[in-house]
Chains A and B, each alone.
Chain A
């Protein structure tokens, strides 16, 4: 799955093995080698200069060559397929290989070649045992399930899955055909439609792998090396056992399995499954993502019309999907995510070993939660015993939920929690390498906290502010060492939201930034680093869209309808629900602040609507009432009837020229996108890629559009400007396109993404 990464060095081991065992005269093979042990051929994959193996053209060609040699070699009776890389079997197909194809037909051809290769493996007269250690994803999994037998290490790094759907693709090398046969229709749909990773023990239960091998500790080699060797030794034994018929390839089916097979033999049962799955997909994706529907189609074709039709459908649909804008957007996000998991500011001088968090509220405790389990000593400070207890309980609950899901053991939970110190005073803060404050959003409180912290911490300690809108330079104004002050804007809930927005001022030192990024990466975050300014990047993009949403409500659109319009455009959460989640008070606060900073451009809806809601106690989900009424235990939420009066009071008359459903959608999205482009124009954003990542991972911008910048590229800047001019005519400067957008509209060759 991963693209070509110029990382890692050609392992010493491979070089040596290659020199010893490669029995070829012409060009040496660089990706695949084999060694015959007894009558078992051990085929080792090791893509040079990469951390992972991908099914690149080179890898496929060499694999075909090697397999042909083995089939021709009478001394070989079976084969073991193994990777020499610790932590990776095959991570998938080479994305760049797919992207560099000119048209859908070329991608279809690639798929068919893959299908052919795996068909040969499946029909191999000599059994092939896949020995899996590390990630076995996408094409890697399709390879493995074409083999006669699968053995996997019970390591945390060993995951199996078909993540193609997350890239807008489908398993295009026989996956849609073999998986249903192997693990049944429901399991196969679940795997292919969610794309989730499956751990080895679960895979064994599902029948995806046949045997498990325990990872080993250190012996006469490092644990990683020895585990791979051991896996190979065990796999060789099994390969011999299969040839000698000591090991059966087809397990006796259990009672449940037999019943399931019987039920599945009825066409109407199968049709019911297709229908249910299709319905679920449509509900979740609003039909905006073509890949899941194509996956269902391929599976159905294979099951109902036989393999020939199935494989053909698979390769053709694969080709079509690869050239959709949705797939392009999702692959772009994937690349962006990889890029935003690197520290472009270098290694910080001092690693953060002790992190202090001030404020044990939702955010503070959330930050603690993602920090303690990374081996960082975490001090969680609050001002009240109750607040602290709530915060510590949140951290405990987060870890305990992981224990319940068996991601960690209760022992690991306890030992992780030993990294957490809860306290009410500043004792021990002199040991802190970084302090993140998550106190109330009030510049006076922030200043007071900053001064208190600077009085106790050591000179190297970094002060990070978790604020969503207050400019960092205003906070840093109270600091004795503004070079150590930085903004770290987390998103709620911290343990679920992947994004971290880091804000630097002119005075923030490069080392401070490097350190903040390093901490964020350790916490598992996808990071964008942006310049300072009111609302930074994310809040600044969201504010105009929410202002527009309020206007839409004032114009008489029901919150439910508003939600439907936004989710229908691809937002995972509707605008009204989002406002409730963020908190109406926070939204009002931000709208007012940014309104002051940016003037009428941030207008639209009347801030008084939000303020009145806050005054009446409708602060959103946290207060039980906002746009909706939230009742514990109830999943269905009803519109808060009491906001009707408020909206009535601030009622606006909609202009029919710009009030169709589609117009409302574009009014919302264009204000978001225009502000994002303006951020790039003003240098708040460093590059469009970070802009896309920030919008998608922090604000839920439709992933199928790939982010505001990719949206401009694919939708066309000229078309967007045209729409905005139309809205501008009615509403004024809130829809005036920024200069950069106009530049792109004038010259269609200008693209944010090459």
Chain B
């Protein structure tokens, strides 16, 4: 009966703030009518005949502003550190996993399959195959779900673990922005390649003679969307403007992220961070991008992308970050057999994609209702929300989109809005804006954080959602492991 009451109230078209107002009353009435509080619409998402997949452990290197302490490393060094951290923390035998998958965005040409190089370097058995995936900012989400299911859109029923191919996998992600591949210009490359083939001295000299000053100009990795030639910050600014997100709202959200991250760091809640002795440098054990500022200070910054009237600034955007993450994922029976106490069940997930120009960063809005529907849950069932914060403006735009009936009807094909996640459950330990955002590594951080928050806060369901370049998005439901 209580759940009926809840669902009727849920379906009421009330605004978010109104919902907050009536909430105390609601919970009282629930307590009065039902002695044991069970507000979830489902007890568990376990399905008969399907393997339960669990997160055993998740770790990450400290996330550092690029160009700081990690500056002289290579990407696989960071990934190696994360993998070693995982081994240390779990005491996992080095031949106990069946497969290793890593996600990364900007590839170091020398280590294009960074998963393999890092695994070998971390001392994993050379009998364990490893591959690397890429899907922009949700690359490590893809690494995890590939391990789980091997298919992008499906229930975790037919993948490496679920299909019985593997029982234990390591997934992770790495991004290293302190060094990126900068190439010669196309013309110069062409000349150099022809030079290899030139047989006579005359031909070689002719080719060398054809080189012009302009050919020497280097080519930086594209920071823009290939299909639209628009940079992500520019798109984020337009998105924020489209949803009427003000500069003030963005700065406030960014400040909230930094403040919460600082609190979580000081309280020692960020247990996934491992210490890392950087060769030739000190031991790093803390994220270094968390810098709570004041609204006044942030207000002074000029727009970074749409000048001069834009609203996205350096302070309300995520910064370029170096970092790596790793998670150990197993079938529940294998984990238990090996004596592990799993942290959480990894349940349903979805990938979505939409217009890469005007809806580049709206992945969470599209992914959230879809994954909830798949899991048979509602927004109210979720206790822990962890959304990837690419830009404060992007988060606010997603919240507004989810809270808009017009958007829900026009673009999501729904009868009404999705509903925005309540802020008291949302990214409570900071997010990408403050902790940092190594593109390929963020997904594992989000999943591990949900698991840790569920344990700490005592909730049952958590939701991860993230946007990615290319107009793609991802969402996953995570269920607490009974403690």
CA distance A517 to B238 in the complex (A): 39
CA distance A214 to B231 in the complex (A): 13
CA distance A234 to B247 in the complex (A): 13
Q: How far is the CB of A85 from chain B (nearest CB, A)?
A: 20
Do the beta carbons of A219 and B244 come within 8 Å of each other? Answer: yes
Do the beta carbons of B309 and A220 come within 8 Å of each other? Answer: no
Residues of B in contact, count (CB < 8 Å) = 26
B481 at interface by CB-CB < 8 Å: no
B297 at interface by CB-CB < 8 Å: no
Q: Which residues from chain A contact B445 at a C-beta distance below 8 Å?
A: none
B410 at interface by CB-CB < 8 Å: yes
CA distance A169 to B401 in the complex (A): 49
* Option from B226, B355, B358, B407 in Cβ contact (under 8 Å) with A220: B407
CA distance A564 to B438 in the complex (A): 70
Residues of A195-236 whose CB lies within 8 A of B: 211, 213-214, 216-223, 226, 230, 234
> Can you name the residue of chain A whose Cβ is closest to the Cβ of B229?
A409
CA distance A234 to B308 in the complex (A): 10
Q: How far is the CB of A196 from chain B (nearest CB, A)?
A: 25
Q: Which residues from chain A contact B401 at a C-beta distance below 8 Å?
A: 219
With A234-B309, A237-B309, A411-B226: A223-B400 Cβ-Cβ less than 8 Å: no
* Option from A214, A222, A234 in Cβ contact (under 8 Å) with B238: A214
* Option from B228, B244, B411 in Cβ contact (under 8 Å) with A218: B411
B204 at interface by CB-CB < 8 Å: no
Do the beta carbons of B229 and A219 come within 8 Å of each other? Answer: no
Do the beta carbons of B309 and A219 come within 8 Å of each other? Answer: no
Give per-residue flags for A365-393: 1 if the beta carbon is below 8 A from chain B beta carbons, else 0. 00000000000000000000000000000
With A223-B358, A226-B242, A234-B309: A218-B229 Cβ-Cβ less than 8 Å: no
Residues of A in contact, count (CB < 8 Å) = 18
Q: Which residues from chain A contact B404 at a C-beta distance below 8 Å?
A: 220
* Option from B226, B309, B357 in Cβ contact (under 8 Å) with A217: B357
CA distance A411 to B357 in the complex (A): 12
Do the beta carbons of A214 and B228 come within 8 Å of each other? Answer: no
Give per-residue flags for B325-359: 1 if the beta carbon is below 8 A from chain A beta carbons, else 0. 00000000000000000000000000000010111
Do the beta carbons of B229 and A217 come within 8 Å of each other? Answer: no
Give per-residue flags for A152-175: 1 if the beta carbon is below 8 A from chain B beta carbons, else 0. 000000000000000000000000
Do the beta carbons of B358 and A216 come within 8 Å of each other? Answer: yes
With A216-B241, A411-B227: A221-B406 Cβ-Cβ less than 8 Å: yes
Do the beta carbons of A216 and B242 come within 8 Å of each other? Answer: yes
* Option from A217, A409, A411 in Cβ contact (under 8 Å) with B239: A217
> Can you name the residue of chain A whose Cβ is closest to the Cβ of B356?
A411
> Can you name the residue of chain B whose Cβ is closest to the Cβ of A220?
B404
Q: Which residues from chain A contact B207 at a C-beta distance below 8 Å?
A: none
Give per-residue flags for A81-123: 1 if the beta carbon is below 8 A from chain B beta carbons, else 0. 0000000000000000000000000000000000000000000
With A226-B242, A409-B229, A411-B228: A217-B407 Cβ-Cβ less than 8 Å: no
> Can you name the residue of chain A whose Cβ is closest to the Cβ of B407?
A220
B306 at interface by CB-CB < 8 Å: yes
With A230-B241, A409-B228: A218-B359 Cβ-Cβ less than 8 Å: yes
Q: How far is the CB of A102 from chain B (nearest CB, A)?
A: 49
* Option from A214, A220, A223 in Cβ contact (under 8 Å) with B306: A214
> Can you name the residue of chain B whose Cβ is closest to the Cβ of A216?
B242
Q: Which residues from chain B contact A213 at a C-beta distance below 8 Å?
A: 309
Do the beta carbons of B242 and A218 come within 8 Å of each other? Answer: yes
B397 at interface by CB-CB < 8 Å: yes
With A214-B306, A237-B309, A411-B228: A220-B241 Cβ-Cβ less than 8 Å: no
Q: Which of A216, A222, A226 counts the most B-chain CB atoms under 10 A from its CB?
A: A216
Q: How far is the CB of B249 from chain A (nearest CB, A)?
A: 14
> Can you name the residue of chain B whose Cβ is closest to the Cβ of A223?
B358
Q: Which residues from chain A contact B228 at a C-beta distance below 8 Å?
A: 409, 411
Q: Which residues from chain A contact B410 at a C-beta distance below 8 Å?
A: 218, 222
B243 at interface by CB-CB < 8 Å: yes
Residues of B376-422 whose CB lies within 8 A of A: 397, 400-401, 404, 406-407, 410-411
Residues of B208-263 whose CB lies within 8 A of A: 226-229, 234, 237-239, 241-244
> Can you name the residue of chain A whose Cβ is closest to the Cβ of B234?
A214
Q: Which residues from chain A contact B358 at a C-beta distance below 8 Å?
A: 216-218, 223
> Can you name the residue of chain A whose Cβ is closest to the Cβ of B360?
A217
Do the beta carbons of A219 and B357 come within 8 Å of each other? Answer: no
Q: Which of A211, A221, A226, A234 counts the most B-chain CB atoms under 10 A from its CB?
A: A221
Q: Which of A214, A230, A234 counts the most B-chain CB atoms under 10 A from its CB?
A: A214
Do the beta carbons of A220 and B239 come within 8 Å of each other? Answer: no
Q: Which residues from chain A contact B234 at a C-beta distance below 8 Å?
A: 214
Complex A-B: 13 CB contacts under 8 Å? A213-B309, A214-B237, A216-B241, A217-B355, A218-B358, A218-B410, A219-B241, A219-B397, A219-B407, A220-B242, A220-B243, A234-B309, A238-B309
Extra pairs beyond A222-B410, A409-B227 (15, CB < 8 Å): A213-B309, A214-B237, A217-B242, A217-B357, A217-B359, A218-B359, A219-B243, A219-B397, A219-B401, A220-B242, A220-B243, A220-B407, A226-B242, A409-B228, A411-B227
Going nearest first, the 10 A-B pairs with the smallest beta carbon separation are: A217-B358, A219-B242, A216-B242, A219-B243, A411-B227, A234-B309, A220-B404, A217-B242, A230-B241, A214-B238
